[in-house]
Amino acid sequence: MNVGFDISSHLRADRFAFAFDGYLKIASAGTYTFYTNSDDGSQLLIDGQLVVQNDGLHALTERSGSVFLGSGMHSIQAFYFDKDGENILQVDYQGPGVPRTVIPAAALFRPTSGTGAVQARVDAGLQAFYTFQKKPGPSAYDLAPAGVPLDLDLTGTNAAWSEGGGISFLGSDHNTVLENRTPNQKLYNALTQSGEFTVEFWIESSNLTQGNSRRILEYGHGGGADERNFALAQEGKNLQFKLRNSTNVNTVLATDNQPLGSGNTRYHVVLTYKPSGSSATDAGQRIYVNGVLQVSNALNGILNASGTNAWKPDYVFAVGNRPGALDRDWEGKIFLLAVYDQALSASQVLANFQAGIPFNYSPEILPLGITTALRPLPWSINDGSLDWLEDKAASGEDLKMGNVKYRTGLGGKPQSSGALSWLLYDLNREKLELGLQGFPQRGVSEM
């Protein structure tokens, strides 16, 4: 019995693979254990984190993993492949008030729109979007559809890509940073034109005593306080939002309530700015953590493209350190980074927090909230392994299984019905079948 993760639609007995994407509704916060029992390999990811690793060629094998989940919706992914032999996949869970059981259809949800986008997540004004997927190469790809992609390249060796998504910065070597090496004025143009912006993160700090204003992100030059457009820094358990505008070359808004209360815990951090002289609400500098406003001010002033305290178009967009100087190494992990050319409202910030960390993205599946076409990421599947994001073949080229290539015709996206969207890869007939599980239509917005 596999309920939501039904593989009975495979087109032949051997050499096929499934990728399932959807949402899991959690009623009570706590630690949940997930199980996959499969022949051959399988993987299960929750909120982009690899929870169950059951990959490889093997007979029927069960493996499990545990993760703490808050109440509400969490993205869920399951990958499965079969080379030959039996075709079996079962996905169970247990947690607070839930004895071990196959994950029921009533707990599984799909996006409500026909584009593959989740309505709960805001996409209007999105200028840059990163999910920091594991890959052999050193780049973090900008997935936002706006403008020339602001791709980031890793310098130094004191960082590591994680299996389930995210990049970890491991400590102070004064040599490691993720930044754009190619000049790119996309953010400068969009944000100085709009006069407002939002920067959104999902992060884990691995050191709650790190001080000296360690840079999670800086859009600057690496010199003094007057040589950056904006920055997010960590000081112990507190956060600092540094901003340059026409009123002040460096206004620092800082929390004092220690919102980063626990190390190695995921936090949703959002910075917004809108001049306080505007008639709209949610103006000034603001810092949100996990959907809740922590601190704000009434800062007024524009984001100058020229004149007093003008933003600089040639500044570097750097993650994990201060660019240039490389002397503010941050210790922690980033799962998501997004930049908008508008200041999200408090309700929009809360909606993005409740949407959770988006799943890993394959070329066919649009990320949450993005309704236009994205640049495809390269990927492949290897004989005996679910290496879905290996940097080998561009979208629309060949799907690899071992040394055999299969044409796939990539570029589709899940249709809009059923509880879980799925993609069926027929590795023998050289085509991609796309469909959905036949469950009653459920929308996240209905819950």
Residue type present at position 378: P
User: Cα separations (Å) of 98 from 32, 34, 269, 374, 386?
Assistant: 9, 12, 31, 38, 29
**249-277 pLDDT per residue, tens:** 899 999 999 999 887 788 999 999 999 87
Polymer length in residues for the chain: 447
User: How sure is the predictor about 334, in pLDDT bands with cuts at 50, 70 and 90?
Assistant: very high
**52-63 pLDDT per residue, tens:** 988 878 899 999
User: How sure is the predictor about 128, in pLDDT bands with cuts at 50, 70 and 90?
Assistant: very high
Residue 396: count other Cβ atoms within 10 Å of its Cβ.
Answer: 12
Q: Topology of 126-355 in CATH?
A: Jelly Rolls (2.60.120)
Q: Please say whether the beta carbons of 327 and 43 come within 8 A.
A: no
Point out the least confidently predicted range of 168-182, 204-218, 347-361.
347-361
Interval 3-17 mean pLDDT: 66
Q: Is the pLDDT of residue 210 over 70?
A: yes
Task: Report how far residue 232's alpha carbon sits from residue 213's, in angstroms, rounded to the nearest whole number.
Answer: 9
Tokens standing for residue 205? 């700090």
Interval 194-221 mean pLDDT: 93
Tokens standing for residue 8? 């009975």
Higher pLDDT pick, 444 / 99: 99
Per-residue model confidence (pLDDT) at position 340: 96
Q: Please say whether the beta carbons of 116 and 80 come within 8 A.
A: no
User: How sure is the predictor about 26, in pLDDT bands with cuts at 50, 70 and 90?
Assistant: confident
Q: Shortest CA distance to 341 belongs to which of 272, 251, 245, 241?
A: 272
Residue type present at position 63: R
Q: Give ranges for CATH 2.60.120.200 in the chain.
A: 126-355
Per-residue model confidence (pLDDT) at position 146: 80
User: How sure is the predictor about 69, in pLDDT bands with cuts at 50, 70 and 90?
Assistant: confident
Per-residue model confidence (pLDDT) at position 179: 93
Task: Report how far residue 20's alpha carbon sits from residue 359's, in angstroms, rounded to the nearest whole number.
Answer: 11
Average model confidence (pLDDT) across the chain: 74
CATH number, span 16-115+405-446: 2.60.120
